[in-house]
Chain A
């Protein structure tokens, strides 16, 4: 089976997550060896995924955790309902 660029793009996400079966993955690998466009699409998609996972991009807002635990404290220390 020979695959084209569109076929590779359809599977980029599964490729990044290592969820493709071995034969499809190896077809894509073969395609990537000679296709600079698909290589760049793969790299850029993966770069976006890696950047999103960086904790510096999405931090919890200041005070969120403190407010949550203060609320828990009030519940824990409240007298139990009969």
Chain B
């Protein structure tokens, strides 16, 4: 599957961001070698093995728990469980997918312990949930205000819109659009079908477009940007 990824000029985002993104890409050979050496006694290599999964663990748990303090605790429990069960990883799935299935189980375990469940619990929303997915109609908004991301206001608007999504949509957006996992990985991490990922992603993006487009249009740069038209 081809993902629509735009790489803006390095000067705009900085090489560090791109480098970090590449470092977070799955690397099965590196992972297999790391696991072999850790199991042979080089335990300190576990830091390097788990580092590329940190963001995914964080966003998966945030999508489940919504509370950063709980996320911190459960992330720590997750990595220890991964470490203690490393000899059980058989390579049938990607390492990150396996780690995220552990994170998901730990997260759900924590949710079960929390007595006051959130109103929009996992069971409350379904794919059949009705909703208005009519997009916001604009005359045009073609330039992307990535430069404005330096302003805290724009980031806050985006985060607030995502946090306001129903949970089943927020989960998918956090993994697919923010953590940039593919549809198969997202489905595996959330234990839902790939079709459900696509449906939820579509609805989430429609809700976000409706909410955000009128607000973000004001951030668009005055001059013509890099993304003048369709792919």
Contact = CB atoms under 8 A, between A and B. Distances in A.
B208 A48 contact: yes
Contacts of B196: none
Interface in B68-99: 68, 72, 75-76, 79-80, 83-84
Contact of A71 (B20, B79, B84, B150): B79
B177 A42 contact: no
A52 B4 contact: no
Interface of A: 9-10, 12-14, 16-19, 29, 32, 36-37, 39-58, 60-61, 64-65, 67-69, 71-73, 75-76
A17 B231 CA distance: 11
A71 to B, nearest CB: 4
Given A50-B6, A52-B178, A58-B59, A71 B80 contact: yes
B230 A43 contact: yes
12 contacts: A18-B1, A43-B141, A45-B205, A45-B213, A48-B208, A48-B213, A51-B216, A56-B150, A57-B155, A58-B159, A71-B76, A76-B43
Contacts of A13: 198, 201-202, 205-206
Interface string B186-199: 00000000000010
A53 B144 contact: no
A72 B83 contact: yes
Contact of A39 (B1, B59, B136, B140): B140
A1 B136 CA distance: 26
Contacts of A71: 76, 79-80
B26 interface: no
Interface stretch (B27-35, B44-52, B106-114, B115-123): B44-52
A44 B50 contact: no
A49 B162 CA distance: 11
Contacts of A49: 4, 177, 205
A56 B80 CA distance: 29
Contacts of B72: 64, 67
B217 to A, nearest CB: 7
B151 to A, nearest CB: 10
A43 B51 CA distance: 34
A57 B205 CA distance: 16
A72 B138 CA distance: 50
A59 B50 CA distance: 18
A18 B131 CA distance: 25
Contact of B138 (A9, A32, A41): A41
B55 interface: yes
B141 A47 contact: yes
B187 to A, nearest CB: 14
Given A13-B198, A72-B79, A54 B13 contact: yes
A44 B141 contact: yes
A64 B149 CA distance: 22
Contact of A54 (B59, B76, B134, B149): B149
